[in-house]
């Protein structure tokens, strides 16, 4: 299911990121902050288990997260969404999926994969700022499922309808979270209005 997280702070910060004059430092900082704000919605349904603790006053039955959380950035732009999420879930493990997009066919190619143990017991959060054709996200979700992941969420900053449709078709069990559903993809595979090449803007490359 698609969930567009509608929040004034997210809209404000995303607009700063979309501006072409925004530099690397501010782009990264706003991405971190939006990642943190999105965590609140992304984690709303995380299961809890009761634990017995002692407060300075008395015995108390509190809660802790019942499942391990694994964040899976799709390299390289996905790395830009890790810090903001990890700040709020500091026990999260980080897997890595290395993929690049063939600029002509727009097809994803995998060059690196690394996962923690027992993905089947975890909440697996695949992250990539831009959900364009959906090719990389569908491939990354295929890969984590092959490793045993059963509870998978996809978190992106900006999505195109084409990408959302592709993920929903290939992985109807995966919830997709966006800060914005944009208008369309252009003939070069860029999201419109979008924010340009997220990887280049995060890392200051061209």
Residues in contact with ligand URA by the rule CB under 6 A = 77, 130, 132, 189-191, 194, 197-199
Alpha carbon separation from 119 to 46, 69, 175 (Å, rounded) = 15, 9, 17
The rounded distance, in Å, linking the Cα atoms of 50 and 190 is: 46
> Shortest Cβ distance from residue 37 to ligand URA (Å)?
21
Residue whose CB is less far from ligand URA, 119 or 130:
130
Buried b (16+ CB within 10 A) or exposed e, 127-144: bbbbbbbbbbbbbbbebb
23 has binding-site annotation? no
Residue whose CB is less far from ligand URA, 48 or 192:
192
The rounded distance, in Å, linking the Cα atoms of 94 and 124 is: 10
136 has binding-site annotation? yes
Beta bridge partners of 4: 178
> Shortest Cβ distance from residue 54 to ligand URA (Å)?
50
Nearest to 97 by CA among 61, 132, 146, 49: 146
> Shortest Cβ distance from residue 206 to ligand URA (Å)?
12
135 has binding-site annotation? yes
129 has binding-site annotation? yes
> Shortest Cβ distance from residue 101 to ligand URA (Å)?
7
Residue whose CB is less far from ligand URA, 121 or 200:
200
143 has binding-site annotation? no
> Shortest Cβ distance from residue 76 to ligand URA (Å)?
10
22 has binding-site annotation? no
Residue whose CB is less far from ligand URA, 144 or 198:
198
Residue whose CB is less far from ligand URA, 2 or 88:
2
SS3 191: strand
Give the 3-state DSSP-derived string for 12-45, with helices as H, strands as E and coil as C.
HHHHHHHCCCCCHHHHHHHHHHHHHHHHHHHCCC
- Summary count for the chain: helices (H), strands (E): 6, 15
Burial label for 47, CB within 10 Å (0-12, 13-18, 19+), is exposed
* Annotated binding-site ranges for uracil: 191, 196-198
* Annotated binding-site ranges for 5-phospho-alpha-D-ribose 1-diphosphate: 76, 101, 128-136, 197
* Annotated binding-site ranges: 76, 101, 128-136, 191, 196-198
């Amino acid at each position: 299911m698609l969930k567009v997280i509608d929040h004034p702070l997210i809209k404000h910060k995303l607009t700063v990121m979309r501006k072409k004059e925004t530099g690397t430092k501010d782009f990264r900082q706003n991405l971190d902050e939006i990642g943190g704000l999105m965590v609140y919605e992304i984690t709303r349904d995380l299961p809890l288990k009761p634990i017995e603790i002692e407060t300075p006053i008395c015995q108390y039955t509190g809660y802790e997260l019942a499942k391990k959380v694994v964040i899976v950035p799709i390299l390289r732009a996905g790395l830009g969404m890790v810090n903001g999420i990890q700040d709020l879930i500091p026990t999260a493990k980080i897997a890595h999926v290395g993929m690049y997009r063939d600029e002509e066919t727009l097809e994803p190619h995998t060059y690196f994969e690394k996962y923690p143990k027992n993905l089947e017991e975890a909440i697996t959060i695949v992250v990539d700022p831009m959900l364009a054709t959906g090719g990389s996200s569908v491939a990354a979700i295929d890969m984590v499922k092959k490793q045993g992941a059963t509870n998978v969420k996809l978190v992106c900053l900006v999505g195109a309808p084409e990408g959302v449709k592709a993920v929903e078709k290939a992985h109807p069990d995966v919830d997709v979270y966006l800060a914005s559903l944009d208008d369309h993809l252009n003939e070069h595979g860029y999201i419109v209005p979008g924010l340009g090449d997220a990887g280049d803007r995060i890392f200051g490359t061209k």
